[in-house]
């Protein structure tokens, strides 16, 4: 074996280990575009509407697409005791709520049921696509 390479091996191994550790840390943090300020409740006149229907134990669509930067009126209709929360934002609604939010960051946001509603609760997930 090449002697100089052999001597450098521990250094290479250490560098590889460091890269692995940094990669692991990086993947656990949320994307920078999703923060509590990515969606704000607003009193502006809504220019788009979204109705989300929740039943035991799903939402009526696997994904919903809305436009960035335009006031969005969200209505949550629920058959059963469900609420919604949009992960990594301040969006939180109960059954029957109607609120207007503006999303400032494009991306995909997970919609989750916010009320422990029963055996299918963990499966109550959809995606809000902000484009
Ligand atoms: Cu639930």
Ligand 1 centroid distance, CA of 122 (Å):
7
**Residue range(s) defining the domain that contains residue 60:** 36-130
Mark whether 19 and 47 lie in a shared domain: no
| Both structure tokens of 21 | 């550790």
* Cα 65 to Cα 11: distance, rounded to the nearest angstrom: 49
Better-predicted residue by pLDDT, 56 or 4: 56
Number of domains in the chain: 2
Ligand 1 centroid distance, CA of 76 (Å):
13
How many other CB atoms are found less than 10 A from the CB of residue 13? 10
Q: Contact, 80 vs 56, CB < 8 A?
A: yes
Tokens 């400032």 identify what position? Answer: 104
Mark whether 14 and 62 lie in a shared domain: no
Q: Model confidence over 31-48: pLDDT tens digits?
A: 444 567 789 999 999 999
Ligand 1 centroid distance, CA of 57 (Å):
7
Q: Model confidence over 50-86: pLDDT tens digits?
A: 999 999 999 999 999 999 999 999 999 999 999 999 9
Mark whether 75 and 13 lie in a shared domain: no
How much of the chain exceeds pLDDT 90, in percent? 70
């Amino acid at each position: 074996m090449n002697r100089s390479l052999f001597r450098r091996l521990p250094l290479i191994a250490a560098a590889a280990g460091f890269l692995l550790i940094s990669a692991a840390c990086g993947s656990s943090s949320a994307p920078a575009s999703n923060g509590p300020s990515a969606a704000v409740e607003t009193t502006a006149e809504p220019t788009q509407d979204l109705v989300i229907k929740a039943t035991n134990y799903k939402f009526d669509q696997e994904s919903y697409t809305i436009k960035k930067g335009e006031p969005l009126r969200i209505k949550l209709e629920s058959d059963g005791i469900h609420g919604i929360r949009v992960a990594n934002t301040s969006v939180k609604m109960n059954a029957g709520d109607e609120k207007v939010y503006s999303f400032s960051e494009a991306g995909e946001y997970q919609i989750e049921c916010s009320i422990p509603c029963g055996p299918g609760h963990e499966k109550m997930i959809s995606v809000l696509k902000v484009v």
